[in-house]
């Protein structure tokens, strides 16, 4: 137990200086307490933060980018800049690469996840972000489309209101910052349980993570994720699945999946990506 107690104490200690990856379900509070954006700001260095906004997913990059610039400037960031990457060629620009080498936080806005991946994947800019996130130099956040791209497999689109089936979800390749997961955003808000189940049936080696609006799964570098914000994070863990008909049925036939593990997490709850353990927000040590 001493090891667990030490871990719990460590988790209760503010970790503002540690980098993290924040996966946000969209529509995060931009006006009132701004808990999620404040946490990103703090993890990116607070008053020492140098934040790069990448609005490539959006069709209104200057409007959406401008809004985030004002928010992080208001919070007191040292430097906030917009990297308005519209074309893959721009990922070769020396000044963009220098910004990505120097910044302490990168924020991926909402929009269309296919557009975001089309512009960024397999580019020098992407290599810099990936390497600096991995080495713990950079805090990364993505909201909505910016959240969808986090896994290796990405949900590009889909429907709701049907029994889980393969045609209910369109899959593509994401940016792979957290390859183990398949993210779905606006999760309960847009009734996306069926499509995330369908995605997991096709990829039972991954973990499904459904994130509600104004809610964030904050991934620490040691494998723990923690929930921030006002909704819930749904974890679909197929590790113990005993059966699925997914390889054998047609695209519109109902899928089955036996022995899924499911967690609904709310504010402060923690889940370990590799150990698959879950800790409630208020965890009392009885000694």
Q: Which of residues 207-236 bind a copy of itself (CB under 8 A)?
A: 212, 215, 230-232, 236
Q: How far is CA 6 from CA 19, 39, 98, in A?
A: 20, 23, 39
**Interface positions, 179-198, toward a copy of itself (CB under 8 A):** 188-191, 193-194, 197
Contact 184, 211 (CB under 8 A): yes
Alpha carbons 73 and 80: distance in angstroms, whole number = 7
The count of other CB atoms within 10 Å of the CB of residue 233 is: 27
CB nearer a copy of itself, residue 86 or residue 258: 258
Of 28, 56, 99, 186, which residue is the catalytic one? 186
Comparing CA positions, the residue from 166, 272, 160 lying closest to residue 221 is 272
- To the query of whether residue 186 is one of the catalytic residues in this protein, the response is yes
Nearest approach, Cβ of residue 211 and a copy of itself (Å): 10
Catalytic residue among 56, 99, 144, 232: 144
Distance, CA of 232 to CA of 244 (rounded, Å): 27
With binding defined as CB under 8 A, does residue 64 bind a copy of itself? no
- Binding pattern for the stretch 124-153 against a copy of itself, x by CB under 8 A and - elsewhere: ------------------------------
C-beta closer to a copy of itself: residue 117 or 228: 228
From the candidates 213, 220, 232, 246, give the one annotated as an active-site residue. 213
3-class DSSP state of 186: coil
Beta carbons within 10 angstroms of residue 157's beta carbon? 13
User: From the list 162, 170, 171, 172, which residue makes contact with a copy of itself (rule: CB under 8 A)?
Assistant: 162
Query: Considering beta carbons, is residue 12 or 94 the nearer one to a copy of itself?
Result: 12
Closest CA to 140 of 33, 49, 275: 49
- Rounded CA-CA distance 220/206 in Å is 18
Check binding of 33 to a copy of itself (CB under 8 A): no
Give the count of alpha carbons within 13 A of 40, CB side only.
29
266 scored as a contact of a copy of itself (CB under 8 A): yes
Position among 115, 152, 261, 272 found at the interface with a copy of itself (CB under 8 A): 261
**Residues with catalytic roles:** 144, 186, 213
């Amino acid at each position: 137990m001493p090891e667990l107690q030490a871990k719990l104490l460590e988790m209760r200690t503010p970790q503002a200086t540690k980098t993290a990856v924040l996966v946000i379900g969209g529509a995060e509070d931009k006006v009132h307490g701004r808990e999620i954006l404040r946490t990103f700001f703090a993890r990116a260095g607070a008053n020492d933060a140098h934040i790069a906004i990448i609005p490539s997913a959006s069709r209104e990059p200057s409007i959406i980018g401008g809004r985030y610039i004002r928010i992080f400037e208001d919070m007191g960031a040292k430097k906030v800049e917009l990297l308005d990457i519209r074309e893959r060629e721009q990922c070769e620009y020396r000044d963009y690469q220098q910004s990505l080498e120097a910044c302490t936080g990168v924020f991926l806005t909402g929009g269309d996840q296919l557009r975001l991946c089309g512009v960024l994947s397999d580019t020098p800019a992407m290599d810099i972000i990936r390497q600096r996130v991995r080495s713990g130099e950079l805090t990364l956040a993505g909201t909505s489309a910016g959240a969808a791209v986090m896994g290796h497999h990405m949900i590009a689109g889909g429907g709701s209101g049907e029994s889980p089936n393969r045609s209910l979800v369109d899959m593509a390749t994401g940016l792979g910052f957290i390859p183990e997961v398949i993210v779905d955003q606006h999760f309960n808000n847009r009734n996306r349980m069926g499509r995330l189940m369908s995605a997991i049936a096709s990829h039972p080696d991954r973990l499904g993570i459904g994130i509600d609006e104004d809610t964030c799964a904050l991934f620490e570098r040691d494998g723990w994720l923690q929930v921030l914000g006002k909704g819930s994070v749904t974890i679909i863990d197929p590790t113990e699945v005993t059966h699925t008909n997914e390889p054998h049925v047609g695209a519109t036939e109902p899928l089955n999946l036996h022995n899924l593990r499911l967690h609904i997490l709310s504010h402060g709850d923690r889940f370990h990506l590799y150990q698959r353990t879950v800790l409630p927000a208020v965890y009392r040590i009885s000694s």
